[in-house]
Amino acid sequence: MTGVEPTLADDALPEVVAGQRLTRRDIRRLKWRRFRSHRLALASAVVLVILILLCLSAPLVEWILGMDPSRVDLDRLREGPSADHPLGTDELGRDVLLRLLYGGRVSLLVGFSAAGMAAVIGTLIGLLAGYYGGWFDSMLMRFTDGVIALPLLPLLIVLSAIDLQALGVSADLAESPAISVWRIVVIISLVSWTGVARLVRGATLSIREREFVRAAAAMGASGKRIMFVHILPNVTTPIIVATTLSIGSVILFESVLSFLGLGIQPPLPSWGNMLTYAQELMATAPQLMVWPGLLIFIIVIAFNFFGDGLQDALDPRAMSD
């Protein structure tokens, strides 16, 4: 539905003759060719690798610059780029470059973990519903439909406003910045699993009827074994594609919650919470709102294009143009 680049034409693999049996290597090459033909996806993959490497190298950059990303310097507020602060300083005199790199680590960590956790929840629900069928299936799917129909953003705001101490978490732990990362991961994955669940359920319904599954059942395999050993490996491709495509929206959710002050808690930087005071600072230091927003935009669009290319390459049936 969304390929920006033309999809693979029939003549794109001249060495593959119609009817010829493809080896594993041929298939891998075919997939790579398809991915490569989606030029924006390829460019996005490069951008993602660079951004991830940059964020991972944050401690190295910190060492080179000889600075601490949380060091406040009240003599040097809202400065422009200079030799020792390549991207300038923020409203508390902290180095913008270092905070961007550390913020990127948080955004990526949340993006990957929440998308991964959502994939696990969705896969479990989808497998159970598709495999057992009947009233159990309709109950789980009604539940899924219900979650899909909810207004997500208001719900996320309520979930982030919950007082963890009311759930029995100790006060020290509830207010530590680290827990703000993990609570955001849990909250976002709680509302993001529905797509994968529907996908896996649909695939499970059809795979369940295939001969090899029946053969396994006839040989006495347990339901658990059939689900995880026989069905799951056959649905990994759509799960991977859907999960990649969801990372972008997860990062957007994280950034908006952090922007509103409900997500990642300062002093831990995130691209969202670096923009929290952008509005008040707009007249005096508009340059501060450029980088965090631009990086969110770039990383989300890169994940979306990358996922789109992955879909074209791995799961061509899901494609409509």
Q: Note the residues at the interface with another protein (CB under 8 A).
A: 1-2, 4, 6, 40, 142, 146, 149-155, 157-159, 161-163, 165-167, 248, 252, 255-256, 259-260, 272, 275, 278-279, 282-283, 286, 289, 293, 296-297, 300-301, 304-305, 308, 320-321
Write out the two tokens for 140.
């789980």
Do the beta carbons of residue 253 and residue 183 sit within 8 Å?
no
Give min distance, CB of 298 to another protein, in A.
Answer: 8
Specify the residue, 15 or 321, whose C-beta has the smaller distance to another protein.
321
**299: CB partners within 8 A, 6+ apart:** 48, 51, 104, 107, 108, 111, 248, 251
3-state SS class at 164: helix
Q: Is 210 left (phi over 0), alpha (psi -120 to 50) or beta?
A: beta
Distance CA 61, CA 56 (A): 10
Nearest to 269 by CA among 53, 48, 72: 72
Specify the residue, 226 or 296, whose C-beta has the smaller distance to another protein.
296
Specify the residue, 213 or 295, whose C-beta has the smaller distance to another protein.
295
Do the beta carbons of residue 43 and residue 300 sit within 8 Å?
no
Nearest to 102 by CA among 298, 269, 277: 269
- Lookup result for tokens 């339901």: 223
Give min distance, CB of 252 to another protein, in A.
Answer: 6
Nearest to 98 by CA among 50, 47, 60: 60
Give min distance, CB of 229 to another protein, in A.
Answer: 35
Give min distance, CB of 70 to another protein, in A.
Answer: 24
Give min distance, CB of 153 to another protein, in A.
Answer: 4
**260: CB partners within 8 A, 6+ apart:** 157, 276
Give min distance, CB of 100 to another protein, in A.
Answer: 14
Give min distance, CB of 137 to another protein, in A.
Answer: 16
Specify the residue, 181 or 275, whose C-beta has the smaller distance to another protein.
275
Specify the residue, 159 or 216, whose C-beta has the smaller distance to another protein.
159
Specify the residue, 222 or 279, whose C-beta has the smaller distance to another protein.
279
Specify the residue, 146 or 316, whose C-beta has the smaller distance to another protein.
146
- Lookup result for tokens 């789109």: 308
